[in-house]
Amino acid sequence: MTLELLECENSILSECEYLKSKIFVISNGIMDISENRNLPILLNMLMDGINAYNDMISKHQSTKNNLLDPSFWSIELMDKIHATNGGNTTLLGYTLEKIQDQCPHILDVFDNINYVERISNNCKINEIYRGIMRLDFSLKIKTKYLINFIENKEKMNGVYYYDNLFNRIESLNQALRLLKHEFLYLIKDIIFFSKYLGIDGSLYKYDETVDKIEEIFELSNEKDEKVDCFLSELNIEEFDQVLKAFSSLNWIRGRLNIFSCKNLENEGGKLLATINEKK
């Protein structure tokens, strides 16, 4: 029985640490982005580009089918339509040119932001959620089995032996309890992140969710039951959708890099032309 419990301990503790590391990566990424003051400015200027495009389209067309929704999720679409100035530049390219003229330092926003690419490839909150649920179910089954074993077994090894087993079981439950709490903090971070990016739509009852989490942390009794109930009712797909913003941010970062490279090429070409003229 001791060997069986040891294998159970190693497996559960290892999985808890693995899931906790995944949670910390996402939380640190959200904190890293949220502390950047220039990103909201960049996003607002991109929204201004969408609004200007919509105004121009509205003046020339009676239908609203071609209008872009002025939201974070429309930024990638800006690179698929042409600006209304009659050139071949996309709306995104045209808007970035305007930003370059007005506030060039804003385009360096991702220089001080880490984690974006890493999280865009690894922020699978649904996998973390399923891992916690799987651990919870597995531990409850093993705990019930071990308790039944101890209660029905003659105490050949003495009271100390069985007290030790109970303590080790409780230690595993505590590790899982802490993991669940870290996950609840992550949910709060994601809700804050959605507000930061302006993607907290009315369909998401985020304020109510935050209130429930705060209530859980304030309770001194029956906390485990409240946590389990909250997790079972959680629509994890909503939060998975919010974290897809990291993929969009990584895409925006890539477009800014391309735009900056083109600017360097253009500046280099102009400099070379000037040198040739002087010769």
Cα within 13 Å of Cα(110), Cβ side? 17
Residue 9 predicted with pLDDT over 90: no
- β-bridge mates for residue 82, sequence order: 90
Q: Are 135 and 13 in contact (CB under 8 A)?
A: no
Share above pLDDT 70 across residues of the chain, in percent, rounded to a whole number: 80
If you search the block for the tokens 């040198």, which residue do you land on? 275
pLDDT at residue 150 is higher than 80 = no
Rounded distance, CA 252 to CA 110, Å? 9
pLDDT > 60? residue 131: yes
Q: Does position 109 have pLDDT exceeding 60, yes or no?
A: yes
Which of 28-37, 41-50, 200-209, 216-225 is most confident? Answer: 41-50
Least confident of 13-17, 120-124, 158-162: 158-162
pLDDT at 188 over 90: yes
For the chain, give the mean pLDDT.
Answer: 82
pLDDT (0 to 100) of residue 271 = 47
The CA distance from 18 to 11, in Å, is 11
Q: What is the mean pLDDT of residues 87-101?
A: 90
What's the average model confidence in pLDDT over 128-140?
Answer: 92
| Angle (deg, nearest 10), helices 91-102 and 38-60 | 130
- Whether 260 shows a pLDDT value over 90: the answer reads no
Predicted pLDDT at 77: 93
The span from the CA of 20 to the CA of 78, in Å, is: 37
What pLDDT, on the 0 to 100 scale, is given for residue 220?
A: 54
pLDDT exceeds cutoff 90 at 190: yes
Q: What is the sign of the dihedral through the CA atoms of 248, 254, 257 and 261? A: negative
Residue tagged 């640490």 (tokens): 17
pTM of the model: 0.83
246: which residues sit within 8 A by CB, 6+ positions away? Answer: 29, 116, 119, 120, 123
Q: How is residue 230 written in tokens?
A: 């909250």
**Alpha-carbon dihedral 74, 75, 79, 81, rounded to 10 degrees:** 40
184 band by pLDDT with thresholds 50, 70 and 90: very high
Note the pLDDT of residue 164: 75
Question: Burial code of 107-126, b = ≥16 C-beta within 10 A, e = fewer?
Answer: bebbeebebbeebbeebebe
Band (78; pLDDT cuts 50, 70, 90): very high
What mean pLDDT comes out for the span 258-278? 60
Q: Is the pLDDT of residue 226 over 80?
A: yes
